[in-house]
Structure 1
Amino acid sequence: MERVAAVIVGPTCSGKTKLALAISDKVNSEIISADSRQIFKLLNIGTAKPSKQELHSVKHHFIDLLNPDEEFNVSKFEKESLKIIEDLFQTDKLPIVVGGSGLYIKTLIDGIIDVPDTDPNFRKELLEIRKEKGNEFLYEMLKSIDKQSADSMLPQNWKRVIRAIEIYKTTNQKFSDIKNKNIRTTDFQFMQFGLLWNRQELYDNIEKRVDEMIEMGLVEEVEKILVAGFSPALNSLNTVGYKEIINYLNKEISFEKAIEFIKRNTRRYAKRQMTWFNKDKRIMWIEVDNQSSFEKIADEILYDIKTQEYL
């Protein structure tokens, strides 16, 4: 096996796990989950975590490692994943990275950007500017010093805008230049494959999955987490599917509204995921629909990896 790590990306409900399992059935491999929520115990139904049978069929990494109140970040994911990948190469196994967290995927492939710590005083000054003059003013500030970075974000994403301004102030370098300099290289190849759906068909599948999650006991799962003493304010529970059910349990919205909001917010999340992944021109997109054979797609991906025609 060549030193290649397969990366399966795509929006939620696109069949990433299904494809990863189809590949693992055909080759000695292990799966690395690039999902920032599946790492938490108890968050099963709402994160569409692989079933116990699927978890037993092939070794998965970063599934059920932490309690909901424990911390995990992209830096830890990158460091630990690179070690796992190297260990898999040593045993002639194919690493299969699968997930919808674009930041986790990008950081694993390109590396962490080395930037300075926040200057509390300057941060306070920028927050005051935002309070007085708004997001658009901050955005124009960034645009005047680093147009490339400004073009890569929206004015309402003010935290990223402020961070880019801070970096320029601290280093006298554009954030976009620092990013370009800090792209990491490895002695192996990442081959990225994306699952591309017709938008309406994907949205229909999302609605169906949400209904299935409710039938499987999503409400009871959230109740169990809260009864166990975990705060509803935890970052891990600030997740589509969980936050809406928490609002329902707190009698802030009706059950019907909770389901409606889960479906709406999941569609929006899928759209944001595709916006992120579409920026990466290294991804080879595979058109899929509800009639697609994931076995055949798995064969095609393994052929591409073997011949490296994709590279």
Structure 2
Amino acid sequence: MTSQAQAPVIVVTGPTASGKSALALELAERRGGTVINADAMQTYDAFPVLTAQPTGEERARVPHTLYGVLPIGETVSAARWRTLASAEIERVLADGRVPILCGGSGLYLRTLMQGIAPIPEAPPELREQANADWAALGSRAFRERLAVHDPAIVDRLKPEDRQRHVRAWEVWQATGRPLSEWQRGEASAAPWRFVTVLLAPDRAWLRERIERRFDVMLSQGVEAEARAVFDKHPDPAWPGLKAHGAPEFFRHFRGELSFPDVRRIGIDHTRQYAKRQMTWFRHQMAPDLVFDPRADQALGEIEKYLDNLAG
């Protein structure tokens, strides 16, 4: 691990539709790299078009990993992704290639770089029961029950965040200790040197780009992709169904939304998500390099920084 710890791991991050994948691809071609997914929704296999996963042509140009590796019914937490990503980084370094993490899931990246307190995994049956309780009790009653045992975690969670409430309850059930106490445990940081590149686009430019990308997805058959998932009657609680646009398409298939409304709401929700991402990056991340995605000098500046780092 000593030699690996000295090797830089490149992180390309930023809001959705900011051009992360294209930049990571070019860097991988220039530096002999492998692109490792750092986007929660791209981890799932159900929506390759809707989540803008790399195309076959892009995968042929450089190796890509951790894209579409989980079924939509499985839960991918920051801790689980950290385990998966760490294994991929070690494998890529052992192959003599440069790991390039690419994605906008800031919490996942922070968890990888700074570490996370060890929290035991709960048995699957506890999660199933907790999800059933959420559906039966409703969010308010579920929160009130959880607050009896872990008021600190309830104060931090949004009322509609089913997944994190369920996680907190299952940890309490499995261990008899509140999740908030587990989270205060000592975290171990990753052993590698990270070089973080943040794409910080102009807001108006990004809004237009999000709209154009949604229309491109429509032309690439994203409606049929969503329909294929819908026809399998998935459980609405499955985490992979949170992909932006999927709930709107499902409502359209049930006759609740017109197609123009699917497009409008899908674009609006994606724009809101991008805004939240940028707020998170501004307050939670200290990047080594920051670029406007339109900057022609970004690649050259990144390579210069990496070369100086190598001495």
TM-score range, shorter chain: 0.7 to 0.9
Counterpart-to-counterpart distance in 2, 1:239 and 1:23: 27
Deviation per CA, 1:262-282, whole angstroms, max 9, x where unpaired?
011001111121122222242
Deviation per CA, 1:48-72, whole angstroms, max 9, x where unpaired?
1111100111111111323333444
Asked if structure 2 preserves the Cα contact closer than 8 Å seen for 1:194 and 1:283, the reply is yes
Asked if structure 2 preserves the Cα contact closer than 8 Å seen for 1:232 and 1:246, the reply is no
**Post-superposition offset of 1:117:** 8.1
Whether 2:27 is the aligned partner of 1:27: answer no
Structure 2 match to 1:302: 303
**Structure 1 alignment gaps of length 5 or more:** none
* 1:99 counterpart letter in structure 2: G
**Post-superposition offset of 1:91:** 3.1
Aligned partner of 1:222 among 226, 229, 252: 226
**Post-superposition offset of 1:221:** 1.3
Counterpart-to-counterpart distance in 1, 2:229 and 2:162: 32
* 1:308 counterpart letter in structure 2: L
Counterpart-to-counterpart distance in 2, 1:113 and 1:161: 18
Moved beyond 6 Å, runs of 4+: 149-162
**Post-superposition offset of 1:222:** 1.1
Aligned partner of 1:292 among 291, 295, 300: 295
SS at match of 1:266: helix
Structure 2 match to 1:7: 11
**Structure 2 alignment gaps of length 5 or more:** none
Check 1:300–1:258 CA distance in 2 against 1; reply closer, same or farther (3 A cut): same
Whether 2:234 is the aligned partner of 1:231: answer yes
Asked if structure 2 preserves the Cα contact closer than 8 Å seen for 1:111 and 1:183, the reply is yes
Counterpart-to-counterpart distance in 2, 1:218 and 1:279: 34
Counterpart-to-counterpart distance in 2, 1:208 and 1:20: 21
Aligned partner of 1:67 among 66, 71, 74: 71
Q: Percent identical across equivalent pairs?
A: 25
Deviation per CA, 1:110-144, whole angstroms, max 9, x where unpaired?
222234789x9xx99xxx9x948x99xx7xx96xx
Counterpart-to-counterpart distance in 2, 1:265 and 1:77: 24
Aligned partner of 1:90 among 89, 94, 116: 94
SS at match of 1:182: coil
Check 1:216–1:199 CA distance in 2 against 1; reply closer, same or farther (3 A cut): same
Structure 1 match to 2:203: 199
Counterpart-to-counterpart distance in 1, 2:116 and 2:70: 23
Alignment RMSD, CA only? Answer: 3.7
Counterpart-to-counterpart distance in 2, 1:84 and 1:64: 14
Check 1:51–1:106 CA distance in 2 against 1; reply closer, same or farther (3 A cut): same
Aligned partner of 1:109 among 113, 118, 121: 113
TM-score, with length taken from structure 2: 0.77
**Post-superposition offset of 1:94:** 1.0
**Post-superposition offset of 1:160:** 6.2
Check 1:306–1:151 CA distance in 2 against 1; reply closer, same or farther (3 A cut): farther
**Post-superposition offset of 1:23:** 0.2
Counterpart-to-counterpart distance in 2, 1:18 and 1:73: 26
Count of aligned positions? 289
Instruction: For 1:1-311, list aligned pairs within 5 A.
Output: 2-115=6-119, 131=140, 175=180, 182-227=186-231, 229-231=232-234, 233=236, 234-289=238-293, 291-293=294-296, 296-308=297-309
Deviation per CA, 1:138-162, whole angstroms, max 9, x where unpaired?
7xx96xxx7xx99977687698699
**Post-superposition offset of 1:243:** 1.1
